[in-house]
Amino acid sequence: MGTLILVRHSITAASAAGRNLGRRTDPPLAHAGVALAGRLGDALVAELSELPHDEVRLLTSPARRCRQTTEAIGAAVGVPAEAVEVEPGLLEIDYGAWDGLTADECRARDPELRAAWEADPYATRCPNGESGADVASRSATVFDPVESWLAEDRARCAIVVAHNHVNRLRLCALFRWPMREYRDRLSQDPGGYSLIGFGGATPVIRRVNAAPG
């Protein structure tokens, strides 16, 4: 089976503070995030040592926090910067008017809409932003061909560096869980990664939200 390694970007100041960080702002990694990205690179080297991988692709969201995380991974696993595939379809959810707010601030601003979104974030759009369904649809234009490519050869590996909502939505779809429950059923810590094999009748999920180091 070809292997997808699905990675969430490392720590930013916003993620450490529990604030919504979508596609409208583009901060760098925090100091702790740079260190964690280095440990993540080392962890993925160890994972690859256990996998057949004649071909390795490295894909990333264009967001700075993902590109910085990808730089550390690429340096560790030997994928040069010019070979990295930057995919806008992997950008984080557009939180709209909720960008930069905490959950409590969102509830105070839009109590009814926030309650509907928390009950079903897949179908409910953020104010002037996206729903989970919107994110799943555009990110599928990246994931679908990559997963088909992986299924063709067990010695292929793709490392995809993306975001909290993007990754949880894809994992929920692979698990075949109800999509409205993607926030309730799955966690994605900064720097966490999951391993999924493709090539059999169904995907084989070997790790979920593993911590580097």
Closest C-alpha among 38, 28, 21 to residue 73 = 38
Distances (CA, A) of 88 to 24, 29, 103, 192: 13, 19, 26, 21
Task: Decide if 92 is catalytic.
Answer: yes
Three-class secondary structure of residue 3 per DSSP: strand
List beta partners, residue 55. 156
What is the pLDDT at residue 168? 98
CATH code given to domain 2-210:
3.40.50.1240
Assess whether pLDDT exceeds 90 at residue 52. Answer: no
Element (H, E) at 207: strand 204-210
Assess whether pLDDT exceeds 90 at residue 213. Answer: no
**Cα(184)–Cα(181) distance, integer angstroms:** 5
Residue-wise pLDDT for 117-166, tens only, equals 999 999 999 999 999 999 999 999 999 999 999 999 999 999 999 999 99
Of the candidates 9, 53, 163, 165, the residue annotated as catalytic is 9
Mean pLDDT within 34-49:
97
Longest dimension (CA), the chain: 52
Of the candidates 47, 71, 87, 92, the residue annotated as catalytic is 92
Three-class secondary structure of residue 24 per DSSP: coil
- Lookup: tokens for 151: 């299924």
SS3 content of the chain, % helix, strand, coil (to 5): 50, 15, 35
